[in-house]
Amino acid sequence: MGGHVVGGAFGFLCRQLGLAADYLYAVEVVTVDKSGRASSVVATREKSDPNRELWWAHTGGGGGNFGVVTRYWFRSADASGDDPTSLLPRAPESITTFRAEWNWSDIDQSSFLRLLRNHGTWSERNSDVDSPNASLWTLLLVHRRQLGKIIIRGLSTDSAAAERQINNYLATLSAGVGAVQNKEVARMSWLEFALNPFPDLFAMPPGGVSTKVKDAMLRKPLTDRQIAIAYDYMTRTDYDVMGGAFGFATFGGRVNAVAPDATASPQRHSIFDAACNTGWIDPREEEKNLKWVSAFYRDLFAETGGVPVPGDRYDGTLINHPDTDVTDTTWNTSGVPWYTLYYQGNYPRLQQIKARWDPKNVFRHALSIRTDEPRRA
Ligand SMILES: Cc1cc2nc3c(=O)[nH]c(=O)nc-3n(C[C@H](O)[C@H](O)[C@H](O)COP(=O)(O)OP(=O)(O)OC[C@H]3O[C@@H](n4cnc5c(N)ncnc54)[C@H](O)[C@@H]3O)c2cc1C
């Protein structure tokens, strides 16, 4: 929880419930004053709280910026009283998960285009806060052709209609592409799911795996040009990158019902969190993996200087998926500074909070909030 909530924190139920940070009521933080003395402070979202700005900074300002969070309190925005059973949304009655796949051997460039178009159109039409499909969250993971599969996973919290909802979704994605293979659907309690979500996705090999994730928030589906770039990077053989993949997590719904400045998480217009990513076990494979993933992302966003500049099509990137490449003008030629990609118009306010609560810049890293940069978004 330590670094997760303070970065906004989306999850499997975000389309229905919003971000974890949208439920943050208060934080206890150890901060360091200008004489170098550490002390603990509580900051709440109460309008009358003199420390309210410090609470706001923890609703998306990112870890390692203001102090060490030692406690989080959560309450829904409209919660009242102190009965714990009514302070947060009820857990879903059940969770229905699904997984299905297409074999790359059945996919050519035109069916790939069709699949990503189908997926984009569905997401664009089903990401409003009142969409009946806000209860459906999905992750499309296009692995490189050398791995063999394109996998769709997801879950529904709609106990009565989950199977129909999932079947309709898979039929929409498959139209003109070819039927999905190896479909698996399972129903379980929310607790069973939460204790071990999507085991085949998150299982780690012994010793772990190194990864590079390059994130982009999309307000619109990819263009045909971008889908052609993705096809190229998924299928080209001049890179030998087994762990390369292109993922899309559905977003929107309740997340987008909150104003960009109501919390420090400004990404409130997106329909997907898309990520170019790769993973490797042998350190000798690092260089080629980084080359592939960085070139893929740069070419995907070539029209906006190699990064998803906030605007009509993109909503920047998430600080919970930090990528120092955006500070490097080799990869970010947009002229838009890294902090605008992560924080948009909220950065000047975060700088003021940083100056007040961490005047000696004790908490810092490659993408931390800095007060020595111009106060502009
Ligand atoms: C497999 C995987 C899946 C993920 N899935 C999601 C997802 O679905 N949704 C999402 O939003 N994010 C996701 N993330 C990203 C995740 O939210 C971030 O990596 C987050 O920063 C992790 O928090 P942590 O507590 O592990 O912090 P760390 O990785 O340990 O640290 C991250 C930053 O937070 C700071 N920090 C840590 N603890 C504290 C604290 N107590 N007080 C102040 N600062 C602190 C650190 O100094 C550092 O700067 C995923 C990451 C991984 C590896």
According to the model, what pLDDT value does residue 203 have?
A: 81
Amino acid in the structure at residue 84: P
Q: Are residues 31 and 113 in the same domain?
A: no
Closest-CA residue, ligand 1 atom 35, reads 63
Q: How far is the CA of 161 from the centre of ligand 1 (A)?
A: 34
Average pLDDT, the chain: 96
Q: How far is the CA of 208 from the centre of ligand 1 (A)?
A: 17
Alpha-carbon distance 260 to 15, whole Å? 16
326 three-state secondary structure: helix
- Domain contains 178: yes
Out of 320, 353, 358, 368, mutate this one to test ligand 1's pocket (max ligand atoms within 8 Å of CB): namely 320
- Domain contains 372: no
Q: How far is the CA of 65 from the centre of ligand 1 (A)?
A: 13
Question: Helices 109-125 and 224-235 meet at what angle, rounded to 10?
Answer: 130
Neighbours of 322 (CB within 10 A): 21
**348 in Cβ contact with 375 (< 8 Å):** yes
Q: Are residues 24 and 152 in the same domain?
A: no
Closest-CA residue, ligand 1 atom 47, reads 64
15 three-state secondary structure: helix
Closest-CA residue, ligand 1 atom 20, reads 4
Please list the residues that pair with 279 across neighbouring strands.
211
Q: Are residues 220 and 266 in the same domain?
A: yes
Alpha-carbon distance 348 to 371, whole Å? 9
10 Å CB burial of residue 305 (0-12, 13-18, 19+) is middle
Instruction: State pTM to two decimals.
Output: 0.95
Per residue in 242-288, pLDDT tens? 999 999 999 999 999 999 999 999 999 999 999 999 999 999 999 99
Per residue in 55-102, pLDDT tens? 999 999 999 999 999 999 999 999 999 899 999 999 999 999 999 999
Q: Are residues 12 and 109 in the same domain?
A: no
Q: How far is the CA of 255 from the centre of ligand 1 (A)?
A: 19
Q: Are residues 131 and 175 in the same domain?
A: yes
Q: How far is the CA of 319 from the centre of ligand 1 (A)?
A: 9
- Ligand 1 binding site (Cβ under 6 Å of any ligand atom): 2-4, 6-7, 9-11, 63-64, 68-69, 320-321, 365
Q: How far is the CA of 327 from the centre of ligand 1 (A)?
A: 20
Q: How far is the CA of 262 from the centre of ligand 1 (A)?
A: 22
Domain at 43, CATH number: 3.30.465.10
**5 in Cβ contact with 58 (< 8 Å):** yes
According to the model, what pLDDT value does residue 377 have?
A: 47
Which is the closest atom of ligand 1 to the Cα of 368?
Answer: 49
In the chain, which ranges are E strands? 24-32, 38-44, 68-74, 95-103, 136-143, 149-156, 181-188, 210-218, 245-250, 272-280
Residue 182 phi, psi (nearest 5): 50, 45
**251 in Cβ contact with 15 (< 8 Å):** yes
Per residue in 3-30, pLDDT tens? 999 999 999 999 999 999 999 999 999 9
State the maximum Cα–Cα separation within the chain, in Å, rounded to a whole number. 66
- Domain contains 365: no
Alpha-carbon distance 186 to 209, whole Å? 28
- Domain contains 363: no
Does residue 229 surpass a pLDDT of 80? yes
Q: How far is the CA of 359 from the centre of ligand 1 (A)?
A: 24
pLDDT band at 376 (very low <50, low <70, confident <90, very high): low
Tokens at 360, concatenated: 């000696």
- Domain contains 73: yes
Q: Are residues 112 and 29 in the same domain?
A: no
Q: Are residues 111 and 53 in the same domain?
A: no
Q: Are residues 58 and 155 in the same domain?
A: no
Which is the closest atom of ligand 1 to the Cα of 66?
Answer: 43
Q: How far is the CA of 45 from the centre of ligand 1 (A)?
A: 22
Query: What is the domain count for the chain?
Result: 2
Starting at the edge strand that comes first in sequence, how are the strands of the sheet with 38-44 ordered? 38-44, 24-32, 68-74
Q: What is the mean pLDDT of residues 104-110?
A: 97
Cα–Cα nearest to 17, from 320, 283, 256: 256
Per residue in 328-361, pLDDT tens? 999 999 999 999 999 999 999 999 999 999 999 9
Which is the closest atom of ligand 1 to the Cα of 321?
Answer: 15
Alpha-carbon distance 54 to 44, whole Å? 8
Please list the residues that pair with 39 across neighbouring strands.
31
According to the model, what pLDDT value does residue 374 have?
A: 62
Domain at 251, CATH number: 3.40.462.20
- Domain contains 89: no
Closest-CA residue, ligand 1 atom 1, reads 202
Does residue 234 surpass a pLDDT of 80? yes
**40 in Cβ contact with 30 (< 8 Å):** yes
Range of the domain at 51: 5-80+346-357
Per residue in 188-211, pLDDT tens? 999 999 999 998 888 888 889 999
pLDDT band at 46 (very low <50, low <70, confident <90, very high): very high
Q: Are residues 310 and 186 in the same domain?
A: yes
Per residue in 292-323, pLDDT tens? 999 999 999 999 999 999 999 999 999 999 99
Which is the closest atom of ligand 1 to the Cα of 365?
Answer: 49
Residue 318 phi, psi (nearest 5): -100, 135
According to the model, what pLDDT value does residue 194 have?
A: 94
Q: Are residues 332 and 351 in the same domain?
A: no
Q: Are residues 133 and 40 in the same domain?
A: no
Tokens at 297, concatenated: 């992302």
Does residue 174 surpass a pLDDT of 60? yes
Tokens 């909220």 found at:
346
Burial 264-274 (b: 16+ CB within 10 A, else e): bbbbbbbbbbb
Q: Are residues 19 and 164 in the same domain?
A: no
Cα–Cα nearest to 19, from 373, 260, 290: 260
